[in-house]
Structure 1
Amino acid sequence: MRTLGLDFGTKTIGVAVSDGLGLTAQTVTTIRRTSLKADLAALGELVREYEAERFVVGLPLNMDGSEGPRAEATRKFADILTQALGLPVELVDERLSTVAAQRTLLEADLSRARRREVIDQMAAQFILQGWLDARRPASSEEFHADDYDPET
C-alpha cells in the first residue's frame, strides 16, 4: 500500500511517496498551486500514477502545540481532499519538518536556487517518513551494537 505525503503550503504542495512496503519515503514533486481544482487534479493524477491508498498531510502546529490559521486551512484542505478523491487523510504534526529538510539540503551543499526548488518535497518526505516510522512495530529482534560479540 503506497501513501502520498503532502507538505501543504499557500503557494506550493510538496509531495513524497512511500515504497510499496511502507518502509521508506521518497520525494516526488512540488505542485505550484494555482487553483483548488488544479491542485486536486494534479494530486488525483499522482494517486493514479503511484496507486496511492491514503494521504498523510503535515499539520502546521505552533511550537506550543496550538493551532493557528495555517492549521485550520490545512484541516479544511484535508476534508476537501477526502471528499474529492475518496481517500483517507491522516494529519500529522509537522513541526520542524521544514527546518530538518533545510538542514539536510544545506549539509548536501545544494545551491540556494536548488534548495528552493526541492524544499517542499523534502519536507513532505520528512513528514511521511516520520509517519511511516511511527507505524512500524518495534521488533524484539532489533540489532543493538552493545549486544554484538564478534567471537560468536
Structure 2
Amino acid sequence: MDYGDRNIGVAISDAFGWTAQGKEVVHKRRDGGEVERIAELVKEYEVTEIVVGLPKNMNNTIGPRGEISIAFAEQLQTRLNLPVHLWDERLTTVSAERTLIEADVSRKKRKLVVDKMAATLILQNYLDSKTKR
C-alpha cells in the first residue's frame, strides 16, 4: 500500500508472490472507513500479509510522514490481525509519475492512477527482495 494524505494506493500480488498488480485507490475518510474497505479487500483476495510503504528521508531517517505510515501499519495489524511489513518507498511516487509521463498519460488521468502505480512498485520491490534471499 502507498499511504498518502488523501488516498491509499492498493496493489495485490499473484498467488505465487511473483508479480504485483495495482487494484484500486482507496480514498481516505474522516470516519476511518478506509480501513473497512481494506478489510474487505483482504477478505476478497485472501491476503495473508500486508506491505505498507515507509517514506524515509533521503538520509535514511524517518520524518513525520514516516511516523504517520508507521501508525497506519500498526492500526492495520491490530484491526486485521495480519503481519504488516514496512517497506522503504523512497522515490516510488516519483518513479510512477515519470513512467506515466513517458507513457503520455494526461495529467488528469495520472492523478487517478499514480497512487495505485506507486503501490504496485512498492509491492513489486518487496516481492523481488524476497526472491533474492
Task: Provide the TM-score with structure 1 as the length reference.
Answer: 0.85
Name the counterpart of 2:121. 126
Mapped partners of 2:73, 2:122: distance in 1: 15
The root-mean-square deviation of aligned C-alpha atoms, in Å, is: 1.0
Give 1:3-152 correspondences, 5 Å limit.
6-35=1-30, 37-137=32-132
The list of structure 1 runs, each at least 4 consecutive aligned residues, that deviate by more than 3 angstroms after superposition, is: none
Count of residue pairs brought into register by the alignment: 133
**Structure 2 unmatched runs, 5+:** none
The one-character-per-residue Cα deviations of 1:80-116 (angstroms, maximum 9, x if unpaired) are 1100011110001000101110111111111100000
Partner deviation per Cα, 1:64-93 (whole Å, 9 max, x = no partner): 111100101111111111000111100010
Give CA deviations for 1:37-70 in whole Å, capped at 9, x if unaligned.
3011000010011111111000000111111001
Give the counterpart letter for 2:89 in structure 1: E
Quick one: higher RCO (CA 8 Å, sep 6+), 1 or 2? 2
* Rg comparison, structure with higher value: 1
CA distance in 2, matches of 1:106, 1:10: 22
Q: Decide whether aligned partners of structure 1 residues 86 and 63 sit closer, same or farther in structure 2, where only a CA change above 3 A counts.
A: same
Give me the identity figure in percent: 47
